[in-house]
Amino acid sequence: MVTLIENLRKIAVSNILETNSVKKIWPKWNLRLKKLTGNEPNATSILNLGDHLADIFKSTSESGRSQGTLKGGGVSWEGLVGWYLNLCMLGSRVVVVKMKKDIVPEPIRDALTVSYGSFLSNTESDLLAITFPNHNEYKTNLTETQKSIVEQKKLMDDLAETHFSEYELGVIQCKTNWNDNAQIPMLWDMVYHVKEFDVRNIRVGQNNYSLQDLKKFTYSFVTVPTQKNKFKKNSTPINRVSNLSGGNYWGQQTENGISRSLKEIFKNNFLGGMSSTIRDSLSLELTKLKTDYDYFRLP
């Protein structure tokens, strides 16, 4: 008995854990996760993983900065973040997915498309947090046929077309390095929040779908970070992401004036998708961690 929302979460998490770079290092990450959460994880121990994701990631990261290392590390970090966010959002109407055509509703992809003349582009996003409307269609059990990726995509496209203005969307850009990438989310957040450009050859959205029509839209930045230098409050990289609509986060404890722990993103961005407090909802769902949610592969 699986709903559209939880079936999508299962597809999203399974895709993450089957990614080559994540699959290779998951056994080592799992040992660290078990040490942090214990044999019987509770809501507090799961949420507090957001303070330790950087340490988990660095425990298996390779030294050096070759292009191959950077790419593989970026995919792994993105996967770890997506896995954590989905685990914490169990029981909610929020699902975090990769920006893939086969699992993102077409109206949402259209709304994120930027036209520059005849050239079509999308944000350099790694993850999308989709908050589904509070309607029975999203909470009723799927048939066996509807559980397939192809059939679920058709159903999501139809529902997104019908209820588009009731969706909430969060773009989450994940990068291992801060200094090299902070300007990217800053600029994309600006572009997506401009209602109308003076020049006619720049447009946000297509097929009459616009981010302005959503119930809520945010853009967030999540970094490890990998560099070892001490961050200063007034530095350029800090200022570039300090006012992002969805906030700036990293995989360690909150440091005032620098960055917040990733565990703070839920209250900031996703309250609209929760019917109760995140701790109450997560506590209830964790009782099914070894049954319904065994695809998270958390011991």
Whole-number pLDDT of residue 62: 58
Which residues, other chains included, contact 203 with Cβ-Cβ below 8 Å and sequence gap of 6+?
114, 115, 197
Whole-number pLDDT of residue 67: 35
For the four alpha carbons of 149, 154, 159 and 160, in that order, the dihedral sign comes to positive
What confidence tier does 125 reach under pLDDT thresholds 50, 70, 90? low
* DSSP-derived 3-state class of residue 98: strand
Distance CA 240, CA 98 (A): 24
Share of residues in the chain with pLDDT > 70 (%): 93
- Total count of residues recorded for the chain: 299
The position carrying tokens 């509770």 is: 42
Helix (H) or strand (E) run with residue 35 in it: helix 20-37
Residue of 40, 42, 39, 75 whose CA lies nearest to 57: 75
What are the domain boundaries of the chain? 4-296
Q: What's the rounded mean pLDDT across residues 6-18?
A: 96
Give Cα 93 to chain centroid, integer Å: 13
Mean pLDDT of the chain: 90
